[in-house]
Amino acid sequence: MSFAPSTARVMPNNVMNTPIPSPQGASGDTTINVNGIPSGANATAGPGIRRRDRQGSFGGSSRAKVLRPFNTANIKILLLENVNETAVGALRAQGYQVETHAKALAEDVLMEKIKDVHCVGIRSKTKLTKKILDAAEKLGVIGCFCIGTNQVDLEHATSKGIAVFNSPFSNSRSVAELVIAEIVLLSRQLGDRNNEMHQGIWSKVSANCYEIRGKTLGIIGYGHIGSQLSVLAESMGMRVIFHDVAPLMPLGTSKQVHSLNELLEKSDFVTLHVPETEDTMNMIGENELSRMKQGSFLINASRGTVVVIPALAKALKSGHLGGAAVDVFPKEPAANGKFFESELIGCPNTLLTPHIGGSTEEAQSMIGVEVSQALIKFINNGTSIGAVNLPEVDLRAIRDEENSIRLCYTHSNVPGVLLRITNILAEHNVDKQFSDSKGKIAYLMADISDVTPEQIQDIYRRVRETPTNIVTRILY
Ligand SMILES: NC(=O)c1ccc[n+]([C@@H]2O[C@H](COP(=O)([O-])OP(=O)(O)OC[C@H]3O[C@@H](n4cnc5c(N)ncnc54)[C@H](O)[C@@H]3O)[C@@H](O)[C@H]2O)c1
Ligand SMILES: O=C(O)[C@H](O)COP(=O)(O)O
């Protein structure tokens, strides 16, 4: 797969279901404006579609055509929260306009900035609420350069046909390694000893300090991170049990237990690796903490809302828990250097970290590559593989010949749509077509050959006018 930038290419397209930036056809290009009408100095009465420069291939075939939404230089991308250079470079190499910010933006600034962009890239801090999404007039795709997507109003994004991509496992190993370190640190009270030494206090203690060998680790949420952690913990001699809503294959000699309570009662260390959902909100409160063994430890590197912080502080101060490591908080400061407050500050044997579970060079670099590639494939080819909120649809490469187009149609999932589209395409040569649905939304891709600019314009207009239309794009 090559992501080499193409020569300017302008598409009849509402890539983000909104007005298209005005064409900037390179010299010699025949360009097609938003309405599909050939325009620009070199517009001719001819087909209006230039054979692409053979700069790369799609789908591994030398006869494959590189598709573009329209002049890629008109695509505007906003990257927030210090998204990795690997992503910035890959997106710029496409010719897109990329604006980067090291921090999350305040709501009013984001509302203004997001108005004009086709794609936004965020991490866990930026909240893309209904209000923000409604301000985003041209937005067609969101890249979450992290695992969690709870910071995006997914339902609203979906209703607007905005695709959302994330990186499902590129930082899993980093989180699992952090948790292994924390298990050892907590078990040996290293946080407290370190603090004392920095204050000039020599306090050599062995009481209540343990090896982790032979101890039981209870993992809540046995997904990418939980299962990776399971393998690492067993290799250090721990026994592993886990609780998950889904029945899952236990790795190594780990065992799935029947209930959350069983896990809490049997574990020396309890670690949370669930997503933020309605079900996991306040999952560990006073009742659950009281079920944990006397002197056991709690680790949370999932989401801050999963643990009731005042209850945890109480359990630590009373000595019921032997310690805790917390990486995520219900309210996190917006940026580095901002004030952090929590009832956990000063609790005994309590490790507090600023949401750094996935913050390693390796993870950030891999995430940058993975998410930027998903964004490029969606913008340039219409591919929704890996989208968390759209049905996953792809077609093999379009043939590299003149006058062939790809129709990408995001629509409401109601009866009768395919018949309507079939009628619109009836007199054309549909090379291939695929469609799938997910809940209230469906996505169709169709490659059509031998179409004139007038026919493209007609297809585009008629598809857009269907009552079920959410987003219609045509790619060349
Ligand atoms: N601290 C960090 O920097 C950091 C980094 C990466 C991920 N995370 C957080 O960790 C979470 C987990 O990541 P992952 O990649 O392992 O996710 P995952 O989707 O691979 O696994 C989550 C698991 O939790 C289970 N689950 C869901 N609801 C549950 C419930 N109510 N009770 C029990 N199990 C439940 C799922 O079935 C799944 O097996 C992410 O959603 C993210 O919020 C934090
Ligand atoms: O969801 C995630 O992947 C983690 O919470 C990490 O988020 P971050 O990219 O904001 O560090």
Q: Give pLDDT tens digits for 125-158.
A: 999 999 999 999 999 999 999 999 999 999 999 9
Long-range contacts at 254-258 (CB < 8 A, ≥ 24 apart): 254/219, 254/230, 256/222, 257/218
Within a domain: residue 433?
no
pLDDT at 476: 80
Tell me the mean pLDDT in the region 115-120: 97
Within a domain: residue 86?
yes
Whether residues 259 and 312 fall in one domain? yes
The domain in which residue 74 lies consists of: 1-171+360-394
pLDDT at 30: 26
pLDDT at 68: 63
Residue 115 pLDDT exceeds 90: yes
Whether residues 153 and 55 fall in one domain? yes
Closest ligand (CA of 359): 2
Residue 402 pLDDT exceeds 90: no
pLDDT at 62: 42
**Which of 149, 167, 172, 225 to probe ligand 1 with, by most ligand atoms within 8 A of CB?**
225
pLDDT band at 22 (very low <50, low <70, confident <90, very high): very low
Within a domain: residue 446?
no
Residue 1 pLDDT exceeds 70: no
**pLDDT above 90 as % of the chain:** 82
Q: Which residue from 313, 338, 332, 335 is spatially nearest to 324, judged by alpha carbons?
A: 313
Residue 420 pLDDT exceeds 80: yes
Whether residues 213 and 332 fall in one domain? yes
Tens of pLDDT, residue by residue over 340-360, are: 999 999 999 999 999 999 999
Q: Are 398 and 404 within 8 A, CB to CB?
A: yes
| 273 C-beta closer than 6 A to ligand 2 | no
Indicate yes or no: pTM above 0.90: no
Whether residues 52 and 194 fall in one domain? no
Within a domain: residue 421?
no
Whether residues 137 and 177 fall in one domain? no
Residue 476 and residue 447: Cα distance in Å, rounded? 10
Helix (H, G, I), strand (E, B) or coil at 296: strand
Helix (H, G, I), strand (E, B) or coil at 192: helix
**Domain boundary pick from 394, 416, 448:** 394
Q: Are 32 and 453 within 8 A, CB to CB?
A: yes
Number of domains in the chain: 2
Its ipTM equals 0.99
pLDDT at 397: 87
Residue nearest to atom 15 of ligand 1 (CA): 224
| 358 C-beta closer than 6 A to ligand 2 | yes
pLDDT band at 70 (very low <50, low <70, confident <90, very high): low
Residue 412 pLDDT exceeds 50: yes
Within a domain: residue 201?
yes
- What is the average pLDDT value for the chain, to the nearest integer? 87
DSSP per position, 111-130: HHHHTT-SEEEE-SS--B-H
Within a domain: residue 417?
no
| 358 C-beta closer than 6 A to ligand 1 | yes
Compute, in angstroms, the gap from residue 60 CA to the centroid of ligand 1: 34
Whether residues 65 and 201 fall in one domain? no
Q: Which residue from 133, 129, 224, 122 is spatially nearest to 173, judged by alpha carbons?
A: 224
List the catalytic residues.
Answer: 303, 332, 355
pLDDT band at 63 (very low <50, low <70, confident <90, very high): low
Whether residues 211 and 292 fall in one domain? yes
Q: Lowest-pLDDT range, 36-50, 277-291, 298-312, 411-425?
A: 36-50
Tens of pLDDT, residue by residue over 185-229, are: 999 999 999 999 999 999 999 999 999 999 999 999 999 999 999
| 123 C-beta closer than 6 A to ligand 1 | no
Q: Which stretch of DSSP H or E encloses residue 442?
A: strand 441-449
| 123 C-beta closer than 6 A to ligand 2 | yes
Tell me the CATH number at 228.
3.40.50.720
Task: Give the number of the atom of ligand 1 that is nearest the alpha carbon of residue 169.
Answer: 15
Whether residues 185 and 240 fall in one domain? yes
pLDDT band at 95 (very low <50, low <70, confident <90, very high): very high
Whether residues 138 and 219 fall in one domain? no
pLDDT band at 399 (very low <50, low <70, confident <90, very high): confident
